[in-house]
Structure 1
Amino acid sequence: MEFKAAQTVFFSEVLFTLVWLGMAMRLREISHVEGRIKRSIILEILIWFVVAATTILFLTMYPDFKVYNVVFKIQNYHFIYFLSLFQLLTVLYSAWQLEQFWRSLNNSQRWEYKTFIVGSYLVCGAVAWSSSYRLTYLVILPKHLLLLTALLSLGWGLVLYGVLKHRLLNRKIFISRKIVYSFVVPSLLAAYLIGFSIVLLIMRTFGLEMSFVLKWFFIAIGFTAILFFFFSEGLRRRVHFFISTHFYINKYEYRDEWLAFSKTLHSVKTEADVVKALYKVLSESLYTREIFIWLGDESSGYSLFPMLNKHRVDIFIRPDDILIDFLKSHDYLYLNEKQSNDLFWKKIVRSRKDLLNSLNIVLLFPITTGKEILGLIGLGPEFTGGYYGHDDFDLLTALSSQAASAILAARTAEKLARVREKQAWDRLSAFVLHDIKNAASMLSLLRENAKEHIHEPEFQQDMLEVVDDALKRMGRVEKRLKILKDEIKPAFKRIDICLFLEECCYKLQMRLPNMEINIK
């Protein structure tokens, strides 16, 4: 073995010793029963840097070992000697901390960590044997290095298997999704440039040269892919879905979605505004392109909101529909969920599957406040190919309850406005009728006494005053009616005649059950 190879081996042993010592200190911190031990990460990194720099200095400037027929001779009480002693003390300390850590685990945790502990003890035993032999005989044999390599490979393999199988490094790290999403494009660009550089390095190693056309062609392809990712909404959403489902505990940031919806609801005044805000939040958070929203109540039925579904046929759901009965006793209706024991769910699938399939709906979620259903949310399948789960149901529960409160507030405000308008109309009508009644009464009295007293000058004077007063009263009535005329403006709205007639017929049948109405 060459001299430079020996330097590399010794330096790698120093790095291993530092890493193993850090692990032992971490185990001591975890298994400490009385209280957590404070550690200074910066101080540890500084010590590691000083030890590594010192090792490089002694291995390059003051080597204290010699090579005789591929056998390493170590001088007594020199740097390599103390390095082997430090390595031996480190693995012994690590073995002690591993034993303390094993004692602090309960039975279920021991089952998860047993492979890790066995692999770690194998590494400690191999390194302890190697260091002890060096300190005793002051030599390093090549066959010992080969055996040490095999033992360390087996030990590290057991450690890696235990970590991956039981996910021992699975820890909660709170990082905002927005930061991760914004880091995707730079990461892809960096990965592409690194890969391209590695290809160039390999080609130069084998004496190959990349032509001018091929080099710039690959560069153009890379930047085109980045631009395609930047402008493709569907591809970005798929990447977001992959990140959210593989690197986060929850599929959604419930707090962010709830705050965004709350911020949008601050400026809404009508049910239409609430539905638009709900549709916006759902389309930005959920991974589906099919979103339908019905509004109504349990007495008049539910109508599909037309402004968000211009290319769809409006479908009216009656309050006695089997879908409404199912949602009154269940939290949601999910067609892809296997509910073999629920006969009601099977009945729904058989009777209303055609309706749901015509709209490509797989999930129907109620908008409820208390026990009253104010609307329905229909969702199509996810374009990622995934299925709806508890994260989706939790998000829909939070948003639908908030939307229900906003819809109820909008309806209450609308009813209050109508009541106030009616009160204003009644008050105006009372004034108008009062003036008309007074004018009519005076004119009626005038008409009754005119036959007897029309020739009297005093009666004629009173008659003129009565007519003037009646004209003044009618003038006030005309003025008030003109003001009311300016305030009344017709509101034009596009409606589906067939749907309108069906709703009217349904309301008539509710009041007149014996009446039979057919629409053709």
Structure 2
Amino acid sequence: MLKEVALASYLAAASTFLLFGLFLFARNGGQLRRLALGVACCINAGWAILLVVQLFLPSRWPVLVAVFESLRNASWDVFLLLLIGVFGKDRRTTIFNANRWVLAVAVFYAVMLACTLSVSWQNGYPVLAGDFIAVTVLRTGAAILGLFLVEQLYRNTLEVQRWGIKFACIGMGVMFAYDFYMYSDALLFRHFNPDAWVARGFINALAVPLIAISTLRNPRWSLGITVSRHVLFHSAALFGAAGYLLAMALAGYYLRIFGGTWGSVIQLAFLCGAVALLLGILFSGVFRSRLRVFISKHFYSYNYDYREVWLSFTRSLSSKGPDLETRVVEALAKLVESPGGAVFMVRDDGSFDTAARWNCAAGARADPANAGLIRFLEEKQWVIDLTQHKINPGHYGHVAIPAWLSDYPRAWLVVPMEVHGRLLGIVMLAQPRSPVKLNWEVTDLLKLAGRQAGSYLAQQQFATELMVARQFESFNRMSTFVVHDLKNLVSQLSLLMANAERHKDNPEFQRDMIDTVDFSVQKMRLLLHKLSRKDSAETSQPIDLDALLERAIRGKSAAEPKPVLTIEASGMQVQADWERLERVLGHIVQNAIEAVSPKNGRVEVRLARDGAEALVEIGDNGHGMSEEFIRRRLFKPFETTKSAGMGIGVFESREYVQALGGTLHVESVEAVGTRFFIRLPLLAPVKAATTQLQEETSESK
């Protein structure tokens, strides 16, 4: 019964592959890949036919069957290599070094064919071939190789073009996966499973329609292959781990057989130790580094995938985490598999300052004698190999390397960070985990990366300097306002002293003088308080404009002429800082007093309501201002017509009124007078009552 099923199985495989191969030859159109697929299908059909003949004549043609078994696997591998692009004209775009890879595949199949022939010549095919371990291991390896190539084809094909090859990958992957299952089972049990061998023909026949669908979708088999070192690295690690586990399983099997009573225990202990060793290797930084260097050296024309390298480098510099200097060392070190390093920034006196270290022990203190090294790096912009410099100093123009730099533990490279022709700093990198050849490609990448890192560090320095400058600007601006307030207080006291001799016997003047002095003392105390405390933030609260204006006018009561306050609408409140709003209104009133004649001048202050706004009008009959002066100079900071003025009072007034949501408008006529109109949004009655209730509640608590 099993013989009849095997006959149907392999006849199905032979007929389907033969028909599909003939179709490909008939519709070839001069396409190399279609021709290779047709050859693979015909070899697969011949292999299946020979197995059918072997069912009836088991003693005939064992050598020919073994040859077709190897040719079948090799033909599919060649087709996959053609799709991946090993034999393409542009070798730099392939994922492998073509010559070395083809040579390795040819050697592998030659060894497998030799071993297979030696066994098949003596024992026949396929049952007794399992007695020879080497043949089974090699055929298992051939299945793993096929799966690896299928996986590489799918992963490295552009995503938009995967629809054209996904069914072919499924079909070929099923064939290789089934071979892996059958041969690994034979390797463990030392004989082929007859049921698995019989079903193999049907499994191969099922792959034909899947491959045919991809052929119809992609008749020219022209694919866009993307280069991915990341995928190749993980695939190599994956298949390396699979081969290692297969070898360890085989060794454990023999330990169990020859271990006697302790065989099972020894096998379990051995397998656990093998898995632990594998995990240690996979998580080893040295192993991963050596694997990356090996792949770049032997499978690619260039050492780096520059797109991935630059994206990763830029991402490292701009990501969050430790300070920028540490990220610079880490990003540069990853380019050459270096485990650590340090950044040294150039000071103004020509010395180096240690800015950051990454996985690097502290070295000697940097000395200031570095002028020669700085000049050399600014002129040449070379990457200096410290080990090469010790052997041949003339290679770098006999430049003197400071002892504190060369004596760093495992010091290897010096990478300059140059910005606009000036050396910003250097990066010292430690010896790499695996040997890295320092050729032109590596040095050019390091120089370019050093300039990029230098631009980031320079930008950070400029941002820090700008922040400090803004802090000084803020401090200077605050100092300017304080000086301006002090100037106003001095002006009031000076005016008071000027009138004291004339009105010293006047009781009313004496009362005004006491009020003015008390007001000035309170203002100076407030200024000292603001300068001394750390938190000088303003406090916004509901303010009664009646009380505020009365207090501001009372502070000017000793002036000549005395301001006159008229309140047309009382009970209005605004949300503002009391001290600052009082300073704004007091400054405008003071300007009005100084603009008029003491004898016949008038300064009038009026408080009225204008819809939802409070209107404060401050007018005088002084010398006035021209329209051009109002437009060009009045609100410009540090512009003044006063001999001792600061030129910031009106500027500050308008800025604060606008911050409160109000407006400040000026009308003036030369030799007639000036009027300031200040409009402030009123606090809604409900909101004011709620705010007052909250304040009373907090006070009671």
Common fold: TM-score over 0.5: yes
Displacement of 1:303: 0.8
Deviation of residue 290 (structure 1)? Answer: 3.9
1:484 deviates by 5.5
* Cα drift, residue 406 of structure 1: 1.2
- AA of the residue aligned to 1:315: R
Superposed displacement of residue 353, structure 1 = 5.2
Provide closer, same or farther for how the CA distance between residues 57 and 441 of structure 1 changes in structure 2, counting only shifts above 3 A.
same
Task: Specify the alignment match of 2:472 in structure 1.
Answer: 422
Partner of 2:438: 388
Stretches of structure 2 lacking an aligned partner (at least 5 in a row): 1-13, 62-67, 69-98, 103-155, 157-224, 538-701
Q: Distance in 1 between matches of 2:347 and 2:310?
A: 25
| 1:427 shift after superposition | 1.7
C-alpha distance in 2 between matches for 1:266 and 1:380: 23
Counterpart of 1:221 in structure 2 is: 273
Which residue identity lines up with residue 277 of structure 2 in the other structure? A
Does the 8 Å CA contact 1:304/1:314 hold for their aligned counterparts? no
TM-score (norm 1): 0.56
Rate the CA distance shift 1:299–1:41 in 2: closer, same or farther, 3 A: farther
2:48 maps to a residue whose letter is A
Residue in structure 2 matched with residue 246 of structure 1 by the alignment: 298
Percent of counterpart pairs with the same letter? 24
Greater C-alpha radius of gyration: 2
Distance in 2, Cα, partners of 1:273 & 1:415:
17
Q: Deviation at 1:223? A: 1.5
Per the alignment, residue 375 of structure 1 pairs with 425
Distance 1:346 1:376 in 2: 18
SS at match of 2:517: helix
- Whether contact under 8 Å (1:258, 1:398) holds in the other structure is no
Task: Please tell me whether residue 182 in structure 1 is matched to residue 234 in structure 2.
Answer: yes
Aligned counterpart for 2:383 among listed residues 332, 336, 341: 332
Shift of 1:191: 2.0
Amino acid across the alignment from 2:285:
E
Q: Distance in 2 between matches of 1:48 and 1:484?
A: 88
Note the 1:113-128 alignment, pairs <5 A.
Answer: none
Q: 1:278 Cα deviation (Å)?
A: 1.3
Q: Structure 2: how far apart are the matches of 1:202 and 1:310?
A: 47
Q: How does 1:270-285 map to 2 (within 5 A)?
A: 273-285=323-335
How far off is 1:285 after superposition?
A: 4.0
The answer to whether residue 44 in structure 2 is matched with residue 49 in structure 1 is yes
Q: Aligned partners of 1:341 and 1:314: how far apart in 2?
A: 24
CA shift digits 1:361-383 (9 cap, x unpaired): 23211001231111101122223
Q: Distance in 1 between matches of 2:333 and 2:501?
A: 81
Cα deviation, residue 174, structure 1: 5.6
For residue 289 of structure 1, what is the aligned residue in structure 2? 339
The CA distance in 2 between the partners of 1:61 and 1:357, in whole Å, is 79
Which letter does structure 2 place at the counterpart of 1:191?
Answer: G
* Structure-1 separation of matches of 2:507 and 2:483: 32
Q: 1:453 aligns with which of 486, 497, 503?
A: 503
Equivalent position amino acid for 1:49 in 2: N
Report the more deviating stretch, 404-413 or 183-192. Answer: 183-192
Return the alpha-carbon distance in structure 1 between the equivalents of residues 518 and 461 of structure 2: 48
CA contact (8 A) 1:303 1:316 kept: yes
Amino acid at match of 1:57: V
The structure with higher relative contact order (CA 8 Å, sep 6+) is 1
Aligned to 2:427, what secondary structure does the other structure show? strand
CA distance in 1, matches of 2:395, 2:48: 73
Within the alignment, does 1:232 sit opposite 2:227 as a pair? no
In structure 2, what residue type is equivalent to 1:246? H
Q: Structure 1: state its 5+ residue gaps.
A: 1-13, 67-82, 84-112, 117-171, 488-520
SS at match of 1:373: strand
TM-score by length of 2: 0.43
CA distance in 2, matches of 1:390, 1:423: 49
**Secondary structure of 2:433's aligned partner:** coil
CA shift in 2, pair 1:53/1:405, >3 Å: same
* Selected match of 1:312 from 336, 345, 362: 362
The aligned amino acid for 1:335 is: L
How far residue 52 of structure 1 moved from its aligned partner, in angstroms, is: 2.7
Shift of 1:395: 3.1
The answer to whether the Cα contact below 8 Å between 1:245 and 1:251 also exists between their aligned partners in 2 is yes
Secondary structure of the residue aligned to 2:411 is: coil
The one-letter amino acid of 2:462's match is: T
**How much does 1:451 deviate?**
4.7
Alignment partner of 1:303: what SS? strand
* Residues 381 and 387, structure 1, Cα contact 8 Å, conserved in 2: no
Q: Find the aligned partners of 1:203 and 1:462 in 2 and give their Cα distance.
A: 112
Distance 1:409 1:358, change over 3 A: closer
C-alpha contact (below 8 Å) 2:366/2:404 kept by paired residues: no
CA distance in 2, matches of 1:319, 1:413: 29
1:431-470 equivalence runs, <5 A:
431-470=481-520
Conservation of the 8 A alpha-carbon contact between 1:303 and 1:314? no
Q: Distance in 2 between matches of 1:483 and 1:462?
A: 32
Aligned counterpart, 2:314? 262
**Number of residue pairs aligned between Structure 1 and Structure 2:** 357
Amino acid at match of 1:388: L
SS state at 1:362 partner: strand
Matched position secondary structure for 1:347:
coil
Contact 2:259 / 2:266 at 8 angstroms: preserved in 1?
Answer: no
Aligned partners of 1:409, 1:237: CA distance in 2, in Å? 32
Structure 1 422/40 Cα, relative in aligned 2: closer, same or farther at 3 Å? farther
Match of 1:303 in 2: 353
Contact 2:419 2:455 in 1 (8 A): yes
Q: Letter of the 1:462 partner, please give it.
A: D
* Residue of structure 1 equivalent to 2:463: 413
Secondary structure of 2:399's counterpart equals: helix
TM-superposed deviation, 1:431: 0.9
